[in-house]
Each structure stands twice: as C-alpha cells, then as structure tokens.
Chain A
Amino acid sequence: SQQGEEDPQALSIQEGENATMNCSYKTSINNLQWYRQNSGRGLVHLILIRSNEREKHSGRLRVTLDTSKKSSSLLITASRAADTASYFCATAMDTGRRALTFGSGTRLQVQP
C-alpha cells in the first residue's frame, strides 16, 4: 500500500509559471523525500526534508513539511520545459521498516 498520495495527479502549466505539488502521508516519519522521473528513466533524488524541519530550498525547489497535518508540498519556481516529468514523494518511517514508501506521483507538463 502507498503511504504518500500526491495531489494533483496531473498538472499542466506554461513555462515561467510556478508549479505546486502536494503530498499527504499517514504515519509518523523520519524524513520525506521528493524524486523526479523523466519518461522511461529511473528516479532522481531532488530533496530531503527531515521531520524536525519545516522548509527547505534547493535552487528553484522549495519544500515544506507540516508534520501535524502529515503533508508536504513541492514548489518549482519559474518552471522550464525541461521540468516536465513525474514527481514522487517518498516517506522514510520513524520506526520499523527502513525502506522508502512512494506516493502515486504527479505528472507535470510544462508547455514552452
């Protein structure tokens, strides 16, 4: 079963606009990670935020984490056509199983 659920499932924007994707999860976590997957390729790690952090930045990416609501958001600013991909959140649980549990993903299409 999937721990994280992304919203929206699909998003289409124009180049230069910002894209926001949301992720909700169910259990206590150690950290939450965002990955990107280009069509036909493997997943690429984007950013990791730990449970004691609320916000993190990396280049044009901004991630927030609200552990009280069990949710996270990924903001991509000034989007580019090359940002077109599927984006997944993945949670690392606080106890027990150490593997990541991935959400269902958001398909982002950036129109040039």
Chain B
Amino acid sequence: DARVTQTPRDKVTEMGQEVTMRCQPILGHNTVFWYRQTMMQGLELLAYFRNRAPLDDSGMPKDRFSAEMPDATLATLKIQPSEPRDSAVYFCASGLVIGSSTDTQYFGPGTRLTVL
C-alpha cells in the first residue's frame, strides 16, 4: 500500500535554529506539494513541484524558507532561521498530474513543528 512518508513526525526546536523536514512521495507521482496547517490560517500551500521543478512557491516566506527536490524520491523543506510563528503542522502531498487537471493528492502524516 503506497503512501507518502514524512520525517520527522515531531520536531521541537529553539528560535533561530535550522529545521529540515523530509518527504518521500509515492513512487511514480510527478507532483509534490508542501502545505502548512495552523488553527488560525487553516491549510496553506507553501510550494509545489512538478517533475522536480518548482512551479509555485509564492506561499512561502522566501527569506527563511526553501524547498527542494534533490531527486524523485525526496523533497525537503527547510526553515532557517526558525521563528515561533513557524510552529504548525507541515504536510507533504504527492499526486499524478496529467495534462492540465489537478486530481487526487495523497497526504503524508505531517511534521508537527514547535519553535520555542
């Protein structure tokens, strides 16, 4: 049963520290998404990749966040330096996009980040 995996599941860190979150998309999927979920803002899209190329990272604070796909089996989201307002659950999702349609996305279990 293929699924998206994310590590770590929980991360507690101090303000100013670097945080790296990792995601392994489902094999064969060509699109990877990073979302952030908070009580106040709900689910927000941070970035997404298609065939490993970044297509949209307009939702991401560029000065401290960066997202990459070094290869087809790994997506990373990095925050440097982290701030308390970055505390949230970060989800990775993958999907298979054919043509212009955006269909089902498969979500990982999330990384719960707490920045003290």
Contact = CB atoms under 8 A, between A and B. Distances in A.
Interface of A: 2, 30-31, 33, 35, 41-45, 48, 88, 90, 92-93, 97-105
A72 B103 CA distance: 17
Main secondary structure on chain B at its contact with chain A? strand
B100 A43 contact: no
27 contacts: A2-B42, A30-B101, A31-B101, A33-B104, A33-B105, A35-B107, A41-B109, A41-B110, A42-B107, A42-B109, A42-B110, A43-B91, A45-B105, A93-B102, A98-B31, A98-B55, A98-B56, A98-B100, A99-B45, A99-B56, A99-B102, A100-B33, A100-B45, A100-B102, A100-B105, A104-B42, A105-B42
Size class of the B contact interface (CB-based, 8 Å) = 20 to 34
Interface string B73-116: 00000000000000000010100010011111111111000000
A50 to B, nearest CB: 8
Given A42-B91, A99-B48, A92 B104 contact: no
Contact of A102 (B4, B42, B48, B101): B42
B56 A88 contact: no
Given A42-B108, A45-B106, A100-B105, A30 B45 contact: no
Contact of A30 (B33, B100, B104): B100
A101 B56 CA distance: 13
